[in-house]
């Protein structure tokens, strides 16, 4: 009888011990790091920003002087982070007089939605790594000295709405892969050293509002694809080597406000009633062509 009672007590003690251990385990405090807390390691963004700073040779406005250990990188000048993940969503270094090149590490900041680098003196190639930024909606690198081909990898940025590459030293053709950028509204590449003609895939970009390819040394004729671009407001192909006639579909753009075709080799007749066909028209410039019945000289 004593043995039986002892066995019961031992079993109850064991059960009680196990229960206490289970309860205690609920109060164990695990170490918290940036990966656990944020769901992602935002130190990647900090490293990318420092890599960008390392390739800037001259910063006359001291824009990146705050990019140091004294501040969290979300407080650095020109940097905006999301409140939830504390990841960089906007990089704005526009009009800062920066001299240098753009680090490929910019492609590691996967939460970036807006990149504003316009009006600087940045040079070198435009990194193909920009194509990793699938959240990117706006890319402005205009008025710099970027060289090389336009990165075809940008076609991976399926949310891109604004692509402004104007006034650089870019060469080559406009990548045919850009036909997949169906969210694009502003496509501006004027004043570069491109080759080839106006790509017909532009007709796939049905949301396009502004299309500018002036001063790019383009050749060939203007493709008749504008009947698909119902939202187009501004169309500019001046200062090229374009030949042929003005496509009829341009006359059917009901929202068209500006048309610039000057300094090409276009011939034929420009409909004198274009202003009446398109009541929104505010600017038309077509001089230095072989057009007749021109409404602007």
* CATH number of the domain residue 214 falls in: 3.80.10.10
Q: Where are the alpha helices (DSSP H) in 39-174?
A: 43-54
pLDDT at 272: 61
Residues 147-185 have pLDDT tens digits of: 999 999 999 999 999 999 999 999 999 999 999 999 999
Whether 268 is covered by a domain: the verdict is yes
Which pLDDT band, with edges at 50, 70 and 90, does 107 fall under?
very high
Whether 36 is covered by a domain: the verdict is no
Residues 72-102 have pLDDT tens digits of: 999 999 999 999 889 999 999 999 999 999 9
User: How far is residue 256's CA from residue 99's CA, in Å, rounded to a whole number?
Assistant: 38
pLDDT at 222: 97
Whether 3 is covered by a domain: the verdict is no
Pairing type for strands 114-116 and 79-81 reads: unpaired
Of the two residues 12 and 89, the one the predictor is more confident about is 89
Tokens at 223, concatenated: 């493709």
Residues 16-72 have pLDDT tens digits of: 444 444 444 443 333 333 333 343 458 999 999 999 999 999 999 999 999 999 999
pLDDT at 205: 97
Whether 78 is covered by a domain: the verdict is yes
Averaged pLDDT, 266-288: 80
Nearest residue to 110 (alpha-carbon basis) of 37, 39, 57: 39
pLDDT of 6 above 50: no
Whether 18 is covered by a domain: the verdict is no
Whether 202 is covered by a domain: the verdict is yes
pLDDT at 26: 40
Inter-residue contact 176 to 154 (CB < 8 Å): no
Residues 225-254 have pLDDT tens digits of: 999 999 999 999 999 999 999 999 998 898
Whether 1 is covered by a domain: the verdict is no
DSSP 198-229: --GGGGG-TT--EEE-TTS--EEEPPS-GGG-
Query: Is residue 128 exposed (0-12), middle (13-18) or buried (19+ Cβ within 10 Å)?
Result: middle
pLDDT of 195 above 80: yes
Query: Is residue 42 exposed (0-12), middle (13-18) or buried (19+ Cβ within 10 Å)?
Result: buried
User: How far is residue 104's CA from residue 94's CA, in Å, rounded to a whole number?
Assistant: 18
Domain total of the chain: 1
Which pLDDT band, with edges at 50, 70 and 90, does 277 fall under?
low
Other beta carbons within 10 Å of 100? 18
Averaged pLDDT, 278-285: 85
Least confident of 15-29, 110-124, 136-150: 15-29
pLDDT at 10: 44
Nearest residue to 159 (alpha-carbon basis) of 215, 110, 216: 110
Whether 77 is covered by a domain: the verdict is yes
Range of the domain at 161: 57-292
pLDDT at 275: 63
pLDDT at 278: 72
Of the two residues 202 and 13, the one the predictor is more confident about is 202
């Amino acid at each position: 009888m004593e043995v039986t009672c002892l066995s019961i007590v031992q079993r109850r003690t064991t059960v009680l011990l196990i229960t206490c251990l289970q309860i205690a385990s609920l109060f164990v405090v695990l170490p918290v790091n940036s990966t656990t807390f944020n769901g992602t390691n935002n130190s990647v963004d900090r490293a990318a920003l420092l890599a960008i700073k390392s390739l800037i040779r001259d910063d006359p406005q001291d824009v990146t002087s705050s990019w140091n250990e004294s501040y969290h990188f979300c407080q650095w000048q020109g940097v905006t982070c999301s409140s939830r993940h504390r990841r960089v969503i906007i990089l704005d270094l526009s009009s800062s007089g920066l001299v240098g090149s753009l680090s490929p590490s910019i492609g590691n900041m996967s939460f970036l939605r807006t990149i504003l680098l316009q009006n600087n003196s940045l040079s070198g190639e435009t990194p193909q790594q920009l194509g990793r930024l699938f959240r990117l909606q706006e890319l402005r690198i205009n008025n710099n000295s970027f060289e090389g081909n336009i990165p075809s990898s940008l076609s991976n940025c399926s949310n891109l709405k604004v692509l402004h590459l104007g006034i650089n030293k870019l060469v080559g053709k406009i990548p045919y892969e850009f036909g997949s950028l169906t969210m694009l509204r502003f496509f501006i590449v004027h004043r570069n050293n491109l080759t080839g003609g106006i790509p017909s895939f532009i007709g796939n970009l049905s949301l396009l509002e502004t299309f500018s390819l002036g001063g790019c040394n383009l050749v060939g004729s203007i493709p008749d694809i504008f009947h698909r671009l119902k939202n187009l407001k501004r169309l500019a192909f001046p200062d090229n080597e374009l030949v042929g006639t003005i496509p009829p579909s341009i006359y059917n753009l009901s929202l068209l406000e500006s048309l610039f075709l000057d300094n090409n080799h276009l011939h034929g007749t420009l409909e004198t009633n274009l202003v009446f066909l398109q009541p929104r028209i505010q600017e038309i410039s077509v001089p230095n062509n072989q057009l007749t019945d021109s409404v602007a000289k």
